[in-house]
Chains A and B, each alone.
Chain A
Amino acid sequence: MSVYDEYDMTIGIECHVQLATKTKLFSPADNDARDAEPNAKVHEIDWGLPGVLPVLNEEAVCLAVRAGKALNAAIAPISRFDRKHYFYPDLPKGYQISQMYQPIILAGHIDAPLEDDSVVKVRIHHAHLEEDAGKLTHFSDYSLVDLNRAGTPLIEIVSEPDIHSAAEARAYATELYRLMTYAGVTHGNLYHGNMRFDVNISVAKKGATELGKRAEVKNLNSFRSVERAAEYEFKRQVDLLESGEKVVQETRGWNDDKQITTSQRSKEDAQDYRYMPDADIPPIVLSDEEITDIQASVPTLPGEYRKRWKDLNLDFSVVNTILEHQPVAITLDSVVQDQGANDVAKRVFNWFSSVQADDIDIAAVASGLVGPQRLTELSEMVSSNKLSSTGAKDIFLALFDEIYKGMAPEDIAKEKNLLQVSDESAIATIVDEVLNDPASAASIADIKAGKDKAIGYLVGQIMKKSQGKANPSLAQKLIRERL
């Protein structure tokens, strides 16, 4: 038993989610600056010019209300904006508009599934709307400011400290990502920082009544780094305590190259943000009816799919792969709805989970070009022995191929000459040919001598002669009848 086994870790996560709005939270500037020149998507409001006033983007409010549903949270009937003050060149007004006192999303929870098929339930403390800051790039003796991101709408989702392992932290982050993308709240482009995680970690001896001092690792932008940072911090903090030192409450950064966390600033440097209500923005007032209306269009969420697919007895990783792309999940769910939890449906899941992401075209699934009907047809051809499993997989990939675009599986099978011959008389002719071939004599003798495996050679020969179209089990049956 290692010393680490004597400790528990406690984790709470704050996640910043950039909302998929057309314009910024308080200005008409374009919210999509992915390919833009620095400072090209900056309105006078975002510059913080004298005299400008914020105008709340209603689309952002709607997305927050949708997020609330995904988080199983109530929406505040009245929420308000506050100003958080600090001086930094990425913050043009000298304050960030946020929601300190009355956030729009109240307490909720999510269930994050783990690899061992268990689930960690993480309570959400609240989530609030706020604007993103700009970006600084530092050079040797100067820094450049890019305000393209300044004013991008965010919701900050604050969890309760319900997470107790690095794996759970990863599971939570991953599930949060799925929920927010499924609900259409964010584009979910992690590379562009659409979701950023601040992970608060503390350790304490097992059974201790008080939590330890926590460190906050800021600005993680991948599930992997969330997991790694938690692992690293756990070890670092336990090592500190074991060597008689103390953990200090501080903000730490994640060094992805070295896979370590480093100290950024301690609590003593903590700023006084001088929060105050923002008198420029009237409160957001939402009736139950409005909330219901907005949430009505939230599509089926991952948790619901998992429930519906339970009877398929799929591996955790298969379900995860399918859930990675919402259009795939929608399409496959429709197969399940139609077929029930049978082999036809299960086969389709396995196709999708066994191929490389690059081999399939999600857009073709989303557009319905490769839809439930085609996939069901293809799977049924295997059930009815029209296709071998290998042939079906081949055709599955062909569905995404430009050459076979829009064609029915049966037609592709014909074109590719993959239809299995299940006509007994046709196969019987080939079987007889093979059995009469002198080259088969040795195998026949082996089989008769009880070495049943030798039948494989004969079946192989039949497949070869039939150019792979013979139904192998039928061929086997015919061989046995004749011997």
Chain B
Amino acid sequence: MITIGHILSRIKSGESSAVQEVEAALERAKAHASYHALLELTPERALERAKLVDEGALTGKLAGVPFVVKDNFLAFGAPTTAASNMLRNFDAPYQATVVEKLEQEGAICIGKSNLDAFAHGGSTENSAFGPTNNAIDTTRVAGGSSGGSAVVTALDIVPFALGSDTGGSIRQPASFNGVYGIKPTYGTASRYGVVAMASSTDTMGCFAHTAEDTALVMGVMAGRDSKDMTSLPDFFDGSIHPMNPMKIGIIKETMDNSVDESVRAVTNTYADTLRAAGHTVEEVSLPIVNHALAMYYIIIPAEVSSNLARYDGVRYGHRSEAAKTLAEVYSLSRAEGFMSENKRRILIGSFVLSQGFFDAYYLQAQKARTLLIQGFEKLFETYDALLTPTAAAPAFKLGENTEDPLKMYMTDVMTVPASLAGLPAISVPAGTNEQGLPIGVQLVGPLQSDNTLLSLAASVEEPRS
């Protein structure tokens, strides 16, 4: 396992240089090409920047540390495709704020990782460029939508990778590949320069091997951005704190029989570990989480249908060669540029927003969302954090759920509640099933408790080499 600390100390001691670290990461990426975790490498720009680090012209907290960016973040050096045909040849004219921030601290992007097109999906099978394989079992999915970033981290190609999480897109693949994944409090890190999926729940986070690395990277990404009105003033200090005994609730609705036995076992073991560290863990009930998935699949498609309206073939992106009229420019370009799952969400979203249905679906879902938020608030009056499995089961087989969208949506059931409520949530690698497939647990906290959640996880982290 390679951590950020390892790389920084190797460069500092002269054992290696930034150029050597970047070259090695690029080599590892090529050696693992068969996983199809990366869509593009950016060796030219990466080595140029690594040279600057070695020359002392580029310094910072992450100077010389290679990382990977999910391909829905706008970044220089390779096209930003969102794993779609729509943006297959789209070269970013500017960079996402969080990419800029990491670069300012000397971090070096070596490539763009695979995802479900436009981040719609939970397996990375919806990529227009083909699926990514699970890091532990190549016959299984990487999870999604940030599957590529989870896998490059798990395979030790880079010590951290960026992802976006709208309903579980960081946490679920983190769980499937045995790494940390953080979905911070909504507004923690700027959304500017990331292909928008659902404006009210999109968050920018990362994958890493340790709670400490996760905190370090998030600390750099976090902070108010004048380009994103929903970004919060910086509250994230990027470090791990010593823990006082905490009161933690296991949400019982997330531990019923529909959840894989191995997942429940790992979650209970993790609860015991927390108890052994002096924390109190007890069962709590939050019945409304059972409705969260229904809310999510009304509100998010509505926002998706709106945010994808700009991809019309007029100014950039795919324009159908066959289009002869303006109407055809729209209909054919969009028919050719979007994947089935994109279209499914656009259709659902357009439907729930249309006249006569808006009140019954969209507004109703938003009201239920308010109840969900209130339910969490109530629990946080008593508990410092909540514990649930990250996913109801370990990584499933490639192709297993592709014919059944509802079954695929069900894989988000544990992660969407925190997204709808804007709460911070992390997935912590907590064990494996008997086949060795990784299983993660999810810690959810009140707004802006991100540091606390990571510190809690760190306090019971097994020391790893």
Which residues of A are at the interface with B, using a C-beta cutoff of 8 A?
Answer: 44, 47-56, 83, 85, 87, 89, 92-95, 143, 145, 272, 274-276, 278-282
Whether B93 lies near A44 (C-beta < 8 A) is: yes
Q: Tell me, yes or no, whether B380 is within 8 Å of chain A by CB.
A: no
Whether A280 lies near B229 (C-beta < 8 A) is: yes
Q: Can you spell out 13 A-B residue pairs with CB atoms less than 8 angstroms apart?
A: A44-B94, A50-B195, A50-B310, A51-B96, A51-B194, A51-B195, A53-B191, A89-B312, A93-B310, A94-B310, A95-B309, A275-B353, A278-B199
Interface size on B, residues (CB 8 A): 43
Q: Which of A50, A53, A54, A276 contacts B74 (CB 8 A)?
A: A50
Q: A145-B314, A274-B353 are in contact. List 19 more A-B contacts (CB 8 A).
A: A44-B94, A47-B315, A48-B315, A51-B92, A51-B193, A52-B192, A52-B193, A53-B191, A53-B196, A53-B229, A54-B229, A85-B306, A92-B315, A272-B355, A274-B305, A279-B199, A279-B200, A280-B229, A281-B229
| B102 smallest CB distance to A (angstroms) | 16
Q: Whole-angstrom distance between the alpha carbons of A143 and B314 in the complex?
A: 11
Q: Which residues of A contact B257 (CB under 8 A)?
A: none
Q: Tell me, yes or no, whether B90 is within 8 Å of chain A by CB.
A: yes
Q: A56-B229, A280-B230 are in contact. Are A89 and B314 (CB under 8 A)?
A: yes
Q: Which residues of A contact B196 (CB under 8 A)?
A: 50-51, 53
Q: Which residues of B contact A52 (CB under 8 A)?
A: 192-193
| A29 smallest CB distance to B (angstroms) | 14
Q: Tell me, yes or no, whether B82 is within 8 Å of chain A by CB.
A: yes
Whether A83 lies near B306 (C-beta < 8 A) is: yes
Q: Whole-angstrom distance between the alpha carbons of A194 and B14 in the complex?
A: 65
Whether A49 lies near B302 (C-beta < 8 A) is: no
Whether B306 lies near A50 (C-beta < 8 A) is: no
Q: Which residues of B contact A51 (CB under 8 A)?
A: 73-74, 92, 96, 191-196
Whether A276 lies near B195 (C-beta < 8 A) is: no
Whether B74 lies near A94 (C-beta < 8 A) is: no
Q: Whole-angstrom distance between the alpha carbons of A272 and B358 in the complex?
A: 11
Q: Which of B92, B226, B302, B312 contacts A276 (CB 8 A)?
A: B302
| A113 smallest CB distance to B (angstroms) | 41
Q: Whole-angstrom distance between the alpha carbons of A44 and B303 in the complex?
A: 21
Q: Whole-angstrom distance between the alpha carbons of A89 and B316 in the complex?
A: 12
Whether A53 lies near B316 (C-beta < 8 A) is: no
Q: Whole-angstrom distance between the alpha carbons of A54 and B229 in the complex?
A: 8
Whether B93 lies near A49 (C-beta < 8 A) is: yes
Closest A residue, CB atoms, query B73: A51
| A51 smallest CB distance to B (angstroms) | 4
Q: A44-B94, A47-B315, A280-B229 are in contact. Are A89 and B192 (CB under 8 A)?
A: no
Q: Which residues of A contact B309 (CB under 8 A)?
A: 85, 87, 93-95
Q: A56-B229, A89-B326 are in contact. Are A49 and B314 (CB under 8 A)?
A: no
| A142 smallest CB distance to B (angstroms) | 10
Q: Whole-angstrom distance between the alpha carbons of A83 and B307 in the complex?
A: 10
Interface digits, B59-100 against A, CB 8 Å rule (1 contact, 0 not)? 000000000000001100000101000010010111010000
Q: Which of A87, A272, A276 contacts B306 (CB 8 A)?
A: A276
Q: Which residues of A contact B362 (CB under 8 A)?
A: 276
| B112 smallest CB distance to A (angstroms) | 14
Q: Tell me, yes or no, whether B400 is within 8 Å of chain A by CB.
A: no
Q: Tell me, yes or no, whether B350 is within 8 Å of chain A by CB.
A: yes
Q: Tell me, yes or no, whether B374 is within 8 Å of chain A by CB.
A: no
| A203 smallest CB distance to B (angstroms) | 28
Q: A275-B353, A275-B358 are in contact. Are A53 and B227 (CB under 8 A)?
A: yes
CB-CB contacts below 8 Å: B229-251 with A = 229-230
**Most chain A beta-carbon contacts within 10 A, residue among B90, B230, B308, B309:** B309
Interface digits, B321-365 against A, CB 8 Å rule (1 contact, 0 not)? 000001000100000000000000000001001110010001000
Closest B residue, CB atoms, query A145: B314
| A136 smallest CB distance to B (angstroms) | 10
Q: Tell me, yes or no, whether B461 is within 8 Å of chain A by CB.
A: no
Q: Which residues of B contact A49 (CB under 8 A)?
A: 93-94, 316
Q: Tell me, yes or no, whether B261 is within 8 Å of chain A by CB.
A: no
Q: A55-B227, A56-B229, A87-B312 are in contact. Are A50 and B87 (CB under 8 A)?
A: yes
Q: Whole-angstrom distance between the alpha carbons of A89 and B329 in the complex?
A: 10
| A47 smallest CB distance to B (angstroms) | 6
Q: Tell me, yes or no, whether B27 is within 8 Å of chain A by CB.
A: no
Whether B230 lies near A274 (C-beta < 8 A) is: no
Closest B residue, CB atoms, query A45: B227
Q: Whole-angstrom distance between the alpha carbons of A95 and B305 in the complex?
A: 11
Whether B315 lies near A274 (C-beta < 8 A) is: no
Closest A residue, CB atoms, query B353: A274
Q: A50-B90, A274-B350, A280-B199 are in contact. Are A55 and B306 (CB under 8 A)?
A: no
Whether B354 lies near A272 (C-beta < 8 A) is: yes
**Most chain B beta-carbon contacts within 10 A, residue among A56, A87, A274, A280:** A274
Closest 7 interchain pairs by CB?
A: A94-B309, A279-B199, A279-B200, A274-B353, A51-B193, A48-B310, A50-B195
Closest A residue, CB atoms, query B302: A276
Q: Tell me, yes or no, whether B256 is within 8 Å of chain A by CB.
A: no
| A347 smallest CB distance to B (angstroms) | 56
Q: Whole-angstrom distance between the alpha carbons of A126 and B316 in the complex?
A: 37
Q: Tell me, yes or no, whether B228 is within 8 Å of chain A by CB.
A: yes
Q: A51-B194, A52-B192 are in contact. Are A94 and B312 (CB under 8 A)?
A: yes
CB-CB contacts below 8 Å: B190-237 with A = 191-196, 198-200, 226-230
| A16 smallest CB distance to B (angstroms) | 22
Q: A93-B310, A274-B353 are in contact. Are A50 and B82 (CB under 8 A)?
A: yes
Whether A276 lies near B227 (C-beta < 8 A) is: no
CB-CB contacts below 8 Å: B273-294 with A = none
